[in-house]
């Protein structure tokens, strides 16, 4: 293992901003794994730390195969993490909306460019990330639906689902999209949590990455089989909206099966505790996404359901 | 008449409502032109507040001079404006990244879609911005190259100093102006002043432009003032200067003043070591139309934009 500094930026009032990467193996730039881009992506940071731990052990035993190099970058944004802000500490811009970046442009564009020029050389790119709406997902691999996507490779993670997303305008400035454009096979891996650590979904994510690397012949590692993934298109997920605002009491969790009209959550009056709304399943299916915050606004998407077609 | 455009129940006994004030002629014939004045997409931009106030005040006192419909939306991101936040609070989303939205989407998308629906079909929309807390802008209109043939005639009536015809990127497709232009509602973006501030002289200047525009469109029958002719420029004539050091920026020039190649624009200072980290000189001759307002800079912070080719 070799620790190297990929990007630095001088600061007047703080330590210099620094992005560090952990390099394993030697030879072809095979796989780059990226963790937190936002300051609140603690679970993503944790997952990377556990991958680094696992890869260190594998390397010590000589289990990284010949002519393969793996790079792990646990955080692209330690500055925001340290002051508990989601976005860039100065101007609140999102580094994940700045790719491919511009080395003579704005600060966050420079950060994006500094990192992207380095990581676009890798054959596979894996990113742990979070959604702009807060909530929990079934662990899954997500990719932008571009001509460069590689669904059969996404299968090798052995996670239960692969989600394809049609890029919206803002997606064109994300890491995943630009990685694909630069001919890196790019995968975003979503786990249950963001701001707190969920040990079991973190282990699922670590296991998925090690499984992928072993199936690609990059590491020697005994992994159990995992799932045969189902591929979903984001637009086919069924959104369930809240019709009231108030206290949100979640009944169904990501991964739960639901039957049509089964209660999924309740919205309570914030002062008297009476039930304002019982949110019922609109169809038979499986919960893919669930709202997390204990408070909810009217019209929020509280669930996304994978509709079962043949029942 | 004050109307609700869209309203959402917040969790704890509060309703978030985007409101507009509509002015109509006393007698209508059904063929009136309609103009929409929108501001507050970014909650930290306040220049439009004075413009809306003056517009509403003048129209209220002069209903008899109205020959069209004027819709005024003083705050389309009311929670952001109240909490001094550029983005929509709760979602931390820049509203100008979610248009045209979706009626069946998440809350922010739903709000965006409702706003688009309300404005669509207007004969003209002006989306009024006030830079951000970092930069000061002279009154200007920004339009994309694709929309220039249709929008430039309107932009020239606005009494601004400068019209910037810029190239567009995919990311910009999610803005209010792009989304409205795409569905055939001509929309101009006006930028002026600085975030969290109100510059009365800029507001008065733009108000003269808005009344002139409304008069030319046949919406306003009252008096108008003579407006100035703006400088019109494309990206090719705009030079952008970024800081190449981190520290405190101390300007050596004035905003909207002429500058020659090699002139001293300012210094980046280190208050701890007492050293000058960078002296910044102008790469070209021209006029400084954007100047840094907020002193703390990083490498890559925008310091100035100069109108004039290099
Ligand atoms: Zn703005």
- The verdict on a CB contact (< 8 Å) between A244 and B9 is yes
Q: Is the pLDDT of residue A186 over 80?
A: yes
Secondary-structure class of domain A237-307 per CATH: mainly beta
Residues 6+ apart with CB under 8 A from A119: A32, A34, A71, A73, A125, A179, A184
Fold of the CATH domain A2-233: Aminopeptidase (3.40.630)
Q: How far is the CA of A13 from the centre of ligand 1 (A)?
A: 28
Q: Is the pLDDT of residue A183 over 90?
A: yes
Per DSSP bridges, beta strands A68-75 and A28-36 are parallel
Q: How far is CA A145 from CA A98, A299, B100, B190, in A?
A: 19, 27, 21, 35
Cβ count within 10 A of residue B27: 5
Residue A283 forms contact with B (CB below 8 Å): no
Q: How far is CA A123 from CA A28, A31, A177, A297, B90, in A?
A: 9, 6, 15, 42, 37
Yes or no: say if A84 and A160 are a contact pair by the CB < 8 Å rule: no
- At A89-106, the pLDDT tens digits run 889 999 999 999 999 999
What token pair was written down for B118? Answer: 């309300």
For tokens 């705009």, the residue is B238
Q: How far is the CA of B189 from the centre of ligand 1 (A)?
A: 9
Q: How far is the CA of B204 from the centre of ligand 1 (A)?
A: 19
- At A109-153, the pLDDT tens digits run 999 999 999 999 999 999 999 887 788 899 999 999 988 888 999
Q: What is the pLDDT along chain B (310 residues), one digit of tens a residue?
A: 999 999 999 999 999 999 999 999 999 999 999 999 999 999 999 999 999 999 999 999 999 999 999 999 999 999 999 999 999 998 889 999 999 999 888 999 999 999 999 999 999 999 999 999 999 999 999 999 999 999 999 999 999 999 999 998 887 889 999 999 999 999 999 999 999 999 999 999 999 999 999 999 999 999 999 999 999 999 889 999 999 999 999 999 999 999 999 999 999 999 999 999 999 999 999 999 999 999 999 999 999 999 986 6
* Domain residue ranges of chain A, discontinuous segments joined by +: 2-233, 237-307
Q: Is the pLDDT of residue A311 over 50?
A: no
* The predicted structure's pLDDT at residue B34: 98
Please tell me the pTM assigned to this model: 0.93
Q: Alpha-carbon distance A155 to A159, whole Å?
A: 7
A48-57, A199-208, A219-228, range with the lowest pLDDT: A219-228
Q: Do domains A2-233 and A237-307 have the same CATH topology?
A: no
* Domain residue ranges of chain B, discontinuous segments joined by +: 2-229, 235-307
User: Considering only CA atoms, which of B174, B31, B158 is closest in space to residue B100?
Assistant: B174
- The verdict on a CB contact (< 8 Å) between B12 and A104 is no
- At B55-95, the pLDDT tens digits run 999 999 999 999 999 999 999 999 999 999 999 998 889 99
Chain B contact probe: residue of A107, A112, A113 with most B CBs at under 10 A? A107
Q: Which of A110, A169, A271 sits opposite B173 (nearest CB)?
A: A169
Average pLDDT for residues A159-176, to the nearest whole number?
93
DSSP A32: E
Q: Phi and psi at residue B139, in whole multiples of 5°?
A: -60, 125
Q: Which CATH number fits domain B2-229: 3.40.50.300, 3.40.50.720, 3.40.50.1000, 3.40.630.10?
A: 3.40.630.10
Rounded to a whole number of angstroms, the distance from the CA of A87 to the nearest CA of chain B is: 9
Reduce the DSSP state of residue A234 to 3 states and report it. helix
- The verdict on a CB contact (< 8 Å) between B171 and A270 is no
Chain B contact probe: residue of A235, A245, A282, A293 with most B CBs at under 10 A? A245
Residue A114 forms contact with B (CB below 8 Å): no
Residues 6+ apart with CB under 8 A from B38: B73, B76, B115, B119, B125, B126, B127, B128, B176
Residues 6+ apart with CB under 8 A from A253: A136, A287, A290
Secondary-structure class of domain B235-307 per CATH: mainly beta
Dihedral sign for Cα A122, A123, A124, A125, please. positive
- The verdict on a CB contact (< 8 Å) between A106 and B105 is no
Mean pLDDT (chain A) is 94
Q: Is the pLDDT of residue A194 over 60?
A: yes
* The predicted structure's pLDDT at residue B90: 87
H-helix or E-strand spanning residue A205: helix A199-215
Residue B181 forms contact with A (CB below 8 Å): no
What token pair was written down for A98? Answer: 């700045």
Q: What is the ipTM of this complex?
A: 0.90
- The verdict on a CB contact (< 8 Å) between B11 and A11 is no
Average pLDDT for residues A287-291, to the nearest whole number?
95
* The predicted structure's pLDDT at residue A225: 83
Q: Is the pLDDT of residue A310 over 60?
A: no
């Amino acid at each position: 293992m070799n620790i190297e500094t990929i990007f630095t930026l001088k600061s007047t009032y703080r330590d210099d901003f620094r992005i560090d990467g952990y390099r394993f193996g030697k030879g072809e730039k095979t796989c780059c794994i990226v963790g937190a881009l936002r300051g609140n992506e603690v679970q993503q940071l944790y997952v990377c730390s556990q991958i680094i731990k696992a890869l260190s052990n594998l390397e010590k035993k000589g289990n990284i195969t010949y002519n393969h190099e793996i790079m792990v970058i646990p955080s692209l944004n330690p500055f925001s993490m340290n002051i508990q802000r989601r976005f860039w500490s100065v101007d609140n811009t999102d580094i994940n909306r700045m790719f491919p970046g511009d080395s003579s442009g704005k600060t966050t564009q420079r950060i994006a460019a500094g990192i992207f020029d380095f990581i676009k050389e890798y054959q596979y790119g894996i990113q742990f990330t979070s959604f702009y709406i807060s909530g929990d997902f079934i662990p899954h691999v997500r990719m932008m639906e571009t001509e460069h996507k590689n669904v059969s490779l996404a299968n090798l993670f052995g996670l239960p689902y692969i989600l394809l997303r049609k890029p919206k305008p803002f997606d064109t400035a994300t890491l995943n999209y630009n990685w694909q454009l630069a001919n890196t096979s790019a995968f975003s891996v979503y786990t249950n949590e963001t701001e707190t650590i969920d040990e079991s979904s973190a282990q699922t994510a670590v296991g998925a990455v090690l499984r992928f690397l072993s199936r690609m012949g990059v590491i020697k590692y005994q992994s159990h089989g995992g799932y045969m993934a189902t591929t979903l298109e984001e637009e086919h997920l069924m959104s369930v909206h809240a019709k009231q605002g108030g206290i949100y009491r979640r009944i169904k969790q990501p991964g739960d099966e639901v039957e049509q009209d089964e209660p999924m959550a309740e919205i309570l009056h914030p002062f008297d505790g009476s039930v304002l709304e019982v949110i019922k399943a609109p169809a038979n299916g499986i919960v893919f996404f669930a709202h997390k915050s204990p408070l909810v606004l009217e019209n929020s998407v509280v669930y996304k359901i994978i509709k079962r077609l043949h029942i | 008449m004050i109307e609700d455009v869209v309203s959402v129940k917040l969790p704890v006994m509060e309703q978030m409502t985007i409101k507009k004030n509509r002015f109509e002629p006393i007698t209508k014939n059904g063929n009136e032109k309609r103009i929409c004045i929108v501001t507050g997409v970014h909650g930290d931009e306040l220049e439009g507040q004075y413009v809306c106030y003056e517009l509403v005040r003048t129209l209220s006192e002069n209903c008899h001079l109205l020959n069209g419909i004027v819709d005024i939306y003083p705050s389309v991101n009311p929670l952001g404006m109240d909490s001094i936040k550029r983005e929509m609070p709760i979602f931390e989303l820049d509203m100008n990244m979610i248009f045209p939205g979706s009626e069946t989407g998440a809350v922010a998308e739903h709000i965006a879609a409702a706003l688009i629906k309300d404005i669509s079909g207007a004969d003209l929309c002006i989306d009024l911005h006030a830079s951000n807390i970092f930069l000061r802008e002279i009154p200007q209109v920004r339009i994309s190259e694709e929309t220039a043939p249709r929008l430039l005639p309107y932009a020239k009536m606005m009494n601004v100093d400068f019209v910037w015809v810029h190239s567009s990127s995919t990311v910009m497709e999610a803005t209010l102006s792009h989304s409205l232009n795409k569905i055939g509602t001509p929309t101009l973006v006006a930028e002026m002043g600085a975030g969290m501030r109100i510059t009365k002289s800029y507001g008065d200047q733009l108000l003269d432009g808005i009344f002139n525009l409304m008069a030319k469109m046949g919406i306003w029958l009252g008096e108008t003032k003579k407006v100035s002719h703006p400088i019109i420029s494309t990206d090719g004539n705009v030079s952008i200067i970024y800081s190449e050091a981190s520290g405190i920026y101390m300007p050596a020039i004035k905003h909207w003043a002429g500058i020659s190649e090699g002139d001293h624009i300012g210094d980046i200072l280190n208050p701890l070591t007492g050293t000058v980290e960078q002296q910044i000189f102008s790469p070209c001759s021209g006029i400084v139309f954007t100047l840094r307002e907020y002193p703390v800079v990083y490498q890559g912070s925008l310091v100035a934009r100069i109108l004039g080719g290099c």
